Structure 1
Amino acid sequence: MTTEGTTIEAGSAADTARATGDGVRAGAAGDTAVPARTRRNAPTLRQVAAAAGVSRATASRVINGGHLVSEQTRAVVEAAIAELGFTPNPVARNLANRRTGSVALVVPEPNQRLLNDPFFGHVINGLSLSLEAADLQMVLVVVRPGGAGHDRAVRYLTTGQVDGAVVTSHHREDALNRRLFESGLPCVFQGRPLGVPHAHYVDTDNVAGGRLATEHLVAAGRRRIGTVAGPADMSAGIDRLLGWRQALDAAGLPTDAVEHGDFTLMGGAEAARRLIRRHPDLDALFVASDLMASGALTELAAAGRRVPHDVAVFGFDDLGLAAATTPALSTVINPVEAMAERAGRMLVEILGGAEPPDEPVVLEAELVLRESA
């Protein structure tokens, strides 16, 4: 059973020597332990690179004693280090000296969400494919947002227990993403992380997906189109809602019928119930996930509204559930496995010394039409 802040290895056991001391990150041999609160405010590797006018990878090679750097570049980077007062992070030192052969999949969600949402099974499968090809072990790290295990998970991830991390399911107020990124741990995010500029990430075009689904409903003659949006603190919820608004604004239709859910079945049902009560004239719904759309279908049936005759319904994800609902859901394809596989390959390339792309990788949105719309 997964518990908050613990790790689960998918496959053979890995060496998981623990860091000691609350709020202290133990460095490699020769380093002095640095209080975590001090490191959070310290100059970052990216700031050193920017001051020196070099890439983050080049700055890292200088700091970690790499030889593939010219003397001129080394001098510039060392001058920036001295000027900023940068102290090398223990993560970078550990990575320079050894490899664990393990990569973490970090899921900042409650255990129940991990077990009940098919999204995460597809993430695990996609990431496993890319890591197996690189002979790397995947370690699952589940962290409840804001929970007591947050600091413990950060210590585990940033003290050399893993070579890098793929992080999925991001919340705006959760400092985990920022702390991992600033630690120097090689990270790739699945989905656009909020509040972490310059992060490397792979995503689907959620804005286009929401817009295309809503445009389909408009083209079908629907004129009172509401939405059960995703969480307002997650980029997927924000972007899919934006796409819905763009389509309705372009059609000159109202955009007031909005309720937010939490990407769960129950959350979708509760949001749909509120929406139906507030806007009994709705003739279509765009729902930001298939799980929530499944809950919305139940509420529409309970209210005596036939789908699609009275209300057309469009979901988002197409991870298996959409084809099994009654009626089957029209939806937007969310290529979760492909995103996870690409994020894993990007991380493997970074660990191999490749310079990561400056721009995020964003996969195109596509529609699947079924009986509900």
Structure 2
Amino acid sequence: MTERPPTLDAVAQRAGVSTGTVSRVLNNAQHVSQKARQAVERAIEELGYVPNTAARSLAARRRGAVVLAISSEDPALTANLFFAEVITGVNAVIEETDLQLLLVLAASQRGQDRFTRVLHAADGVLLLALREHDPLSKLAADSGLPVVHGGQPLGHTPRHYVDADNRGGARLATEHLISLGRRRIATITGGTDQQVALARHLGYREALALAGLSEKRLAHGDFTESGGAAAMTRLLAEHPDLDAVFVASDAMAAGALDVLRERGRRVPEEVAVVGFNDIVTAQHTQPALTTVRQPIEALGREMTRMLIRLINGEQPTSLILPTELIRRDSA
């Protein structure tokens, strides 16, 4: 078998620096410490690394920015803890490079026009929270820039994406409720135009099917606290006998807990509740929320690392991040 040549990542690991630092050394950037420069040069020599000339040429033409486009028009989006954590992860990696981060909310036509304009100033694109047939996918693809998706859009699998094990995590949550002896288990899903919502619903259904339980107790939400409250209200009206609910996000679970408390339904004694994401507030709901943890900040970091590798001329593979059940008081 032919030995694969060393990569930029291998050089960075050997030198103990970021890939962005290696790229700056290769491109003779001025603001690199002498210590880092020497470490990179030593790693290159030890590994026999040969820089990709096409990537070097691309680097020379860089515009110096990365676009993070989110399919939303909500100006309060950064207050949403999920998106806030993703952005924190993205920014942590961007800080290691010479790149600037441009954030665009682009669900409306006006937002899409703005997205198209900023692409001319960008070296790569990160896409997040896309919906079915979302025009952002085509706009990004038509730009010819490297593109990395956060999650998989409904209807197609992009070439480069970072996602969490949504299906497996939802199955784990539902299996936990079953293990507690709950048999009338409802679910509150996300929007039906998002792959993440369908994957979590599928995991729920799989667990119930294996246990021979009914999956008829369902209400659709929208990944917001108010949406979760409205969905919980509908579930209680239609299925007052429910004894557990798997909620497809912590924000919706917080709304569901409020409604259960208002209706005098004790959690977890009468109704056990499990959420998904493990945002910070999951620890502070009443009662504290049992949930499925996905590494949200790591999602942002890995998306950005993948994009930088693409910008540097490499071809990384897509990545699925693991999820785990975090047990607290609600189930």
Q: Structures share a fold, TM > 0.5?
A: yes
The CA RMSD over aligned residues, in Å, is 1.9
Query: Is 1:237 equivalent to 2:197 in the alignment?
Result: yes
Partner residue in 1 for 2:74:
111
Q: 1:333 deviation in Å?
A: 0.3
Partner residue in 1 for 2:117:
155
Q: 1:112 deviation in Å?
A: 4.1
% identical aligned pairs: 46
Q: 1:142 deviation in Å?
A: 1.3
What does 1:48-87 correspond to in 2, within 5 Å?
none
Query: Is 1:247 equivalent to 2:207 in the alignment?
Result: yes
State the alpha-carbon separation in 2 of the partners of residues 109 and 320 from structure 1.
Answer: 22
Equivalent residue for 1:215, pick from 150, 171, 175: 175
Query: Is 1:339 equivalent to 2:299 in the alignment?
Result: yes
State the alpha-carbon separation in 1 of the partners of residues 210 and 316 from structure 2.
Answer: 37
Q: 1:196 deviation in Å?
A: 4.0
Secondary structure (helix, strand or coil) at the match of 2:277 reads coil
State the alpha-carbon separation in 1 of the partners of residues 220 and 79 from structure 2.
Answer: 19
Query: Is 1:140 equivalent to 2:100 in the alignment?
Result: no
Partner residue in 2 for 1:372:
330
Q: 1:108 deviation in Å?
A: 1.3
State the alpha-carbon separation in 2 of the partners of residues 163 and 228 from structure 1.
Answer: 39
Q: 1:328 deviation in Å?
A: 0.2
Q: Is the 8 A contact 1:266 1:292 kept in 2?
A: yes
Partner residue in 2 for 1:99:
62
- Normalising by the residue count of structure 2, what TM-score does the alignment of the two structures yield? 0.80
1:127-148, Cα deviation, whole Å (9 max, x unpaired): 11111112321111111x2433
Quickly say closer, same or farther: Cα 1:244–1:109, change in 2 above 3 A. Answer: same
Partner residue in 2 for 1:362:
320
1:311-351, Cα deviation, whole Å (9 max, x unpaired): 00000011101000000000000211111101111111111
State the alpha-carbon separation in 1 of the partners of residues 196 and 79 from structure 2.
Answer: 19
Q: 1:192 deviation in Å?
A: 1.1
Quickly say closer, same or farther: Cα 1:184–1:310, change in 2 above 3 A. Answer: same
Secondary structure (helix, strand or coil) at the match of 1:268 reads helix
What does 1:26-37 correspond to in 2, within 5 Å?
none
State the alpha-carbon separation in 2 of the partners of residues 282 and 118 from structure 1.
Answer: 29
Q: Which runs of 5+ in 2 are unaligned?
A: 1-51
State the alpha-carbon separation in 1 of the partners of residues 241 and 109 from structure 2.
Answer: 41
> What is the count of residue pairs matched by the alignment?
279
State the alpha-carbon separation in 2 of the partners of residues 147 and 113 from structure 1.
Answer: 19
Q: Which runs of 5+ in 1 are unaligned?
A: 1-65, 70-92
Quickly say closer, same or farther: Cα 1:275–1:113, change in 2 above 3 A. Answer: farther
Partner residue in 1 for 2:36:
none
